[in-house]
Amino acid sequence: MGTKHVRRAQVVEELEAVDLGDPRRDRRALVIASRLATQPEASLPLAMGGDAALEGLYRHLNSPEICLEELLRPHVERTVARVKEAGLAFAISDTTGCTFGGDVRREGLGPVDSEGDQGFRAHATLAVAADGSRRPLGLVAMGTRARVGEKARGHNEADRWSQGLTVAEAHFQPGQLIHVADRESDIFELLAEARERTWRFIFRSTYDRVLVPDAEGGVARLFAAVNSQAHRFRVEVPLSARPRGKRPSKQVASFPVRNGRLAELCFSSMTVKLKRPHHVLARHSKWVEVNVVRAWEPTPPPGEPPVEWLLYTSEAISTDEEVKAVVDGYRTRWVIEEYFKTLKTGCAFESRQLESAHGLFNLFAYALVVAYALLLMRTLSREKKDRPATDVFTASQLRCLHLLSRGKLERAPTVRKALLRTAALGGHIKNNGEPGWRTLSRGWQKLLAAEEILELDQAARNCDQS
């Protein structure tokens, strides 16, 4: 995987192979990407920097010749190359709703929640490094849909998940992806298809499914069967805080508010055969055999909800290390939550005031790539490796960082130290722990502005000398 990650050109590099059928559209796309990357939180008029550029943006986004899939294609291709270079990646799938307030009814959008806010849903598959770094590698699949209300779980729900996994798998040789998903993925049809197509997966269980009895009769229900298993070992696991924030009540019920803590978890594992539910079409197998890993917190702190994860997996569970690997794989799922947070807040996508679904979908493509670059930047800032800052920053950016840091940065800093100084420009205070994506984003904007001034000054000096 290349190391030129978080310079301003990162987003442009992700899209430089874009082909929109006209060189002028391609050039416009790269200009838009550059300006949105420079000021991801800014309003569109401010980010574009002038009336002419803003008008060009609106024409571009509303053009019937441009679509989200073509805008994203070069980023997906670069992601595929990064995954292939890594050899193995987690493919994390999840759905998020993008809602847009105000009284203006936008063409092509419908309500996406119980409050009736208009918007659309996006089903993303984000590739994440499986080497322990949890470094985001980029999108390998993205689907959007705008419709009225939510239909009951069933065939359409299974199709949505199946399509996302199928699109992701089509880019790779078998076994290069391990699909990771939360409780929404507990769909019998999806499990059956994953087994039939030999996809690798770690899905979280939701339902107390009926089991096919073993030769001795066995336990007939999933929860009773796994609860009867004694723990194999215990491990201390750091849990991140989960604030209430602006999450809807349904999401809070599924993922209760908690403080960050170090939790002692017990682990058990077994293999089960899940019986096909009556409502599932007979074209699927009568049963599906899966490995199951249970992780639970026997003694949570007073007032804190206990951790309880029940995971379906294709991965081996014979040894303690294999069981730990399954749980660690599932814990990478938080990366896509951070990705969505970066998309909505760091890129301020839900504040955009475009009037049609087509324009919003096209702008969404740009926001997806900018959010990837922001999330990658924060991930790199937390790495402990002593990689030189020149792997990430240009020479002019490092010069600006030295000037802005007023002697607080060593002459040959590591990537981590340089990014921490960048976060400090955005308001990060060292005693507050690791920087978040917002302080990094703001610091990065200041650094890019300084770099632009430096480049203009150098250009002026060159003119004076000529």
Each domain of the chain, given as residue ranges in start order, spans 9-67+355-379, 73-346, 383-465
Cα-to-chain-centroid distance, residue 107: 27
**Facing residues of 99 across strands?**
119
Q: How far apart are CA 8 and CA 447, in angstroms?
A: 10
Q: Report the SS3 class of residue 307.
A: coil
Name the CATH superfamily, with its identifier, for domain 9-67+355-379: Tn5 transposase; domain 1 (1.10.246.40)
Q: Which two tokens stand for residue 212?
A: 């096919």
Q: How far apart are CA 458 and CA 444, in angstroms?
A: 21
Instruction: Kindly state the greatest CA–CA separation across the chain.
Output: 91
Other beta carbons less than 10 A from residue 325's beta carbon: 19
Nearest CA among 171, 188, 215, 1 for reference residue 80: 171
E strands, 47-181, are 89-100, 110-111, 118-129, 136-145, 177-181
8 Cβ partners below 8 Å, 6+ apart?
34, 37, 38, 448, 451
Q: Are 380 and 84 in contact (CB under 8 A)?
A: no
Instruction: Give 145's Cβ-side CA count (13 Å radius).
Output: 18
- pLDDT tens for each residue of the chain, 466 residues long: 333 334 455 788 899 999 999 999 999 999 999 999 888 888 999 999 899 999 999 999 999 999 999 999 999 999 999 999 999 999 999 999 998 877 777 888 888 766 667 889 999 999 999 999 999 999 999 999 876 444 433 346 788 899 999 999 999 999 999 999 999 999 999 999 999 999 999 999 999 999 998 766 666 899 999 999 999 999 888 877 777 666 666 666 666 777 778 889 999 999 999 999 988 877 778 999 999 999 999 998 888 888 899 999 999 999 999 999 999 999 999 999 999 999 998 888 999 989 889 999 999 999 999 999 988 888 877 776 778 888 778 888 888 998 888 777 888 888 888 888 888 998 888 877 788 767 877 888 788 888 888 888 787 888 877 6
Residue with tokens 């602006």: 246
Q: How far apart are CA 16 and CA 75, in angstroms?
A: 9
Given a contact cutoff of 8 angstroms between Cβ atoms, the answer to whether 346 and 441 are in contact is yes
User: Both ends of the chain: CA-CA distance in Å?
Assistant: 41
DSSP state of 302: T
- Burial readout 191-221 (b: 16 or more C-beta within 10 A, e: otherwise): bbbbbeeebbbbbbbeeebbbeeeeeeeeee
Q: Which two tokens stand for residue 326?
A: 């399954």
- Are 288 and 191 in contact by the 8 Å Cβ rule? The answer is yes
- Which pLDDT score, from 0 to 100, does residue 5 have? 39
**Which residues, 6 or more positions from 316, have their beta carbon under 8 angstroms from its beta carbon?**
291, 322
CA 200 to chain centre: 19
Is domain 73-346 classified as CATH 3.20.20.70? Answer: no
Query: What pLDDT is stored for residue 152 in this prediction?
Result: 36
Question: What's the CA gap between 437 and 428, in Å, rounded?
Answer: 10
Percent helix, percent strand, percent coil in the chain, to nearest 5: 45, 20, 35
Spell out where 114-227 has E strands.
118-129, 136-145, 177-181, 200-204
| Among the four given CATH numbers 1.10.3720.10, 1.10.740.10, 3.40.50.300, 2.60.120.340, the one describing domain 383-465 | 1.10.740.10
| Res 106: pLDDT | 81
- Quote the DSSP letter at residue 276: P
Q: Could you say which DSSP state residue 228 is in? A: T
The Cα 141–Cα 163 span in angstroms is 9
